[in-house]
């Protein structure tokens, strides 16, 4: 289960890193044309994208953790193996 979470994180994390790099290049490639507004917009975009991803992954881990605790207590969806 933990390995599956790591694989999902890798599958979602690599395109996000590539997207951040593209956003960084688009935002900061032309140094003479970069305005403070564009730099601020890129920063805000990256901040909120990171925040949303963090919340999604925390929610996912919380759901998985609650599932493990419920299974350990015998109240989970999967009946305990005798």
pLDDT digits (tens, 9 = 90+) for 22-64: 776 666 655 555 677 777 777 778 778 877 888 888 888 888 7
Distance (Å, whole) CA 78 – CA 81: 9
Number of structural domains the chain divides into = 1
Measuring CA to CA, which residue among 39, 10, 3 is closest to residue 23? Answer: 39
Does residue 77 lie in a domain region?
no
| Domain enclosing residue 26, as ranges | 2-72
Does residue 82 lie in a domain region?
no
Does residue 79 lie in a domain region?
no
pTM of the model: 0.41
Distance (Å, whole) CA 36 – CA 58: 33
Does residue 80 lie in a domain region?
no
Who has greater pLDDT, 48 or 21?
Answer: 48
Does residue 22 lie in a domain region?
yes
CB 64 within 8 A of CB 1: yes
């Amino acid at each position: 289960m933990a390995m599956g979470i790591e694989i999902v994180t890798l599958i979602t994390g690599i395109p996000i890193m590539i997207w951040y790099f593209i956003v960084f290049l688009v935002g900061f490639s032309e140094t003479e044309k970069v305005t403070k507004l564009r730099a601020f917009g890129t920063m805000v975009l990256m901040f909120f994208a990171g925040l949303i991803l963090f919340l999604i992954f925390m929610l996912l881990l919380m759901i998985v953790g609650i599932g493990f605790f419920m299974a350990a207590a015998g109240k989970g969806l999967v009946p305990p193996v005798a």
